[in-house]
Structure 1
């Protein structure tokens, strides 16, 4: 064997060893990644326990519905912890055959309520526990006015309840309507459009169907704030912004600084569609989802970032961003 051939074989052997080590390292890294695979997440807090719900985006052996995870510190999550094989709501117990998306949890008349999307309609179910089982005898959507998704219930200081949601009409557009007192539907005469995709940051791909979705509404110092997401969720530029109004119906003025949470802030693509919650110390946070990685969209991962009011603006602390782990 000549010296040149010897060194060639030696180089090939080294390359083989390095590649094998890289593959083994990648396997170990993947096995250690216990990120919670939920999109459109929301967190409900009660009696020292955080309950995490969302649109399931990973493997789902338990049928369709909504999983729930629990935590006492927002760091270590247990689950799925739902009453029915990990599910808080199971297909067949309430309206819907497919497309169980974007839940919100709140209490009404002593029961826990889950309002959600299924079959591109909005429905509601109730339970005696945050982990379910959530059920509804109706098996029907709340109202029939075309396709609508992403419900969010806001209760104002005067007790009036409003349903913010997305209607699929020449784009994903955010609407509001006052809810009937018993939550059985909306007062259709109050239906009004709030937000559509007209600013540059909400349509970075210049598509004919602009997307604004995932509304969360809250009130601070007499001003209404709507936090929402924009761009198609598959777009790396999916991001979070907000608008303000002096009335639950608007008119809504979009923040001049465009998005407040984006891939430029947290370093991962597709950040958005979440919900505001307050931790046990009263600190304001926003739970959201991200793409699986900067090279793949699904399954999406859940994460949390600190947000707060600065005067009449909402600011996010990019350094606080963390992905949620089992």
Structure 2
């Protein structure tokens, strides 16, 4: 979750909006809003939505930015939110970290919580400018989809001096697990999507990271600087890896077209994470949607969940939205709203 042409403070304030319209999740943020039942999906304010269709409980679990969780039996009415992440307060994350872009993945009988944690009290050197708050993708674990999710592995999954976010999970055809994430554009000035191998038990990473592509590789993502001509945008956001029905490897990711939040897709020419990754020439959804992921309903329908994006007097208003998709062919085709 990243935003162009804004100060870091404004970025953090906007990015942390989650739940039923509550305040940003800063270091001294209040507790979660009171849990309710039967909330319509379009009444939930949530950035970076992720939905797990859990066959064990026949329940949909939705999380995202803010570290909260909603549950539903039908995708229409939701109960929640509840707080499910319990990181170690003595770790680098501190006692009350910001939590962005959480995901829940079932792997070998356990549920893993991939999320971005930010500790505003720690700073990371930033050669292009002022120091930045420490932020990194990390993994927690639970025996249950509703948590609680707690630390179980290495103290860090990625270098302490590298700002990373929007970590997601991928297992290749050989059964090798990977962490796929973004290297923050605020630090490198041309955001990347990268991958690094995970240990078989997911307790840490192993080997070097690999850059898969850069924001500037996209033909559609653009920004308009205050001086000079338009140029490629710097933002990479929300990677999600998938396979089509023909076995083609694809990746959803998000950037901006000037001031419009935009969902794109790329495909790997080799069929592996190593790529090379070829960007589709045009976005795949209407304007002002992004940070999408795919899941299959209990009835066998493939859906895309992402959030709509609206700037209301300088504040981002974001709501989860569902679209029908067809992944049976060689490319992802986005259909009508669900």
Please classify the TM superposition score into its range, dividing by the shorter chain length.
Answer: 0.7 to 0.9
TM normalised by structure 1 equals 0.74
Equivalent-residue separation in structure 1 for 2:92 and 2:239 (angstroms): 22
Equivalent-residue separation in structure 2 for 1:91 and 1:166 (angstroms): 21
| Per-residue CA distance 1:155-182 (angstroms, 9 max, x = gap) | 1222111211001222221011221212
Gaps of 5+ in 1: 1-31, 57-65, 81-85, 264-269, 322-326
Given the superposition, is the C-alpha separation of residues 178 and 211 from structure 1 closer, same or farther in structure 2, using an over 3 Å criterion?
A: same
Equivalent-residue separation in structure 2 for 1:261 and 1:48 (angstroms): 29
1:148 aligns with 2:164: yes
Given the superposition, is the C-alpha separation of residues 243 and 275 from structure 1 closer, same or farther in structure 2, using an over 3 Å criterion?
A: same
Equivalent-residue separation in structure 1 for 2:41 and 2:52 (angstroms): 25
Asked if the contact 1:151–1:163 (Cα under 8 Å) also holds between the matched residues in 2, the reply is: yes
Deviation at 1:236, TM superposition (A): 4.3
Structure showing the higher strand proportion among its residues: 2
Equivalent residue runs for 1:1-326 within 5 Å:
35-46=43-54, 47-56=57-66, 66-80=67-81, 86-90=82-86, 92=88, 96-97=93-94, 98-119=97-118, 120-136=135-151, 140-144=155-159, 146-168=162-184, 169-189=188-208, 191-198=209-216, 199-205=218-224, 206=230, 210-220=234-244, 221-231=246-256, 236-245=259-268, 246-256=271-281, 258-263=282-287, 270-292=288-310, 297-309=315-327, 311-317=329-335, 319-321=336-338
Give the structure with higher Rg (CA): 1
TM normalised by structure 2 equals 0.71
Equivalent-residue separation in structure 2 for 1:186 and 1:55 (angstroms): 23
Q: How many residues align?
A: 265
Equivalent-residue separation in structure 2 for 1:288 and 1:297 (angstroms): 18
| Per-residue CA distance 1:176-223 (angstroms, 9 max, x = gap) | 12212121222233x211122223421243468611220100123232
Q: 1:9 corresponds to which residue?
A: none
Equivalent-residue separation in structure 1 for 2:264 and 2:321 (angstroms): 17
Q: CA RMSD in A?
A: 2.5
Asked if the contact 1:88–1:130 (Cα under 8 Å) also holds between the matched residues in 2, the reply is: no
Gaps of 5+ in 2: 1-39, 119-134, 225-229
